[in-house]
Amino acid sequence: MNKQKTTKRKSTFARTLRKNMTDAEMKLWYKIRNNQLGAKFRRQQPIENYIVDFVCLEKRIIIEVDGSGHIYNVRDKIRDSWLNKRGYKILRYWNNEVLKNIEGVLISINENL
């Protein structure tokens, strides 16, 4: 499959993810969108082979909001390593952490910005 078709498929899938965000992703998005933290974030953004939940391209910070399916996930480790090698810092938060302690999550994000 050529690169153009792959890019188009990733963009289409990212658009679907944006329309179907989890409750935790939605809660965080409403707190970080529109430069509320002094940095511009994008949601469900393709970065080459991967789609990340949220990214600040200027600061090269990625935020992932994960459910129980990500516990001990080897693919996440491979993905994180690939993104780290390209200069991205990955911040991971559990869904319940975002839903129950959004202020703590925002403090953590601010400290990393």
Give DSSP secondary structure letters for 63-108.
EEEE-GGGTT-HHHHHHHHHHHHTT-EEEEEEHHHHHH-HHHHHHH
Mean pLDDT of the chain: 85
Q: What is the pLDDT of residue 77?
A: 87
Q: What is the pLDDT at residue 108?
A: 97
Higher pLDDT, 7 or 101: 101
Q: Is the pLDDT of residue 69 over 90?
A: no
Q: What is the CATH number of the domain that holds 102?
A: 3.40.960.10
3-state SS, residue 40: coil
For residue 86, the enclosing domain spans 3-112
Based on the structure, what is the number of domains in the chain? Answer: 1
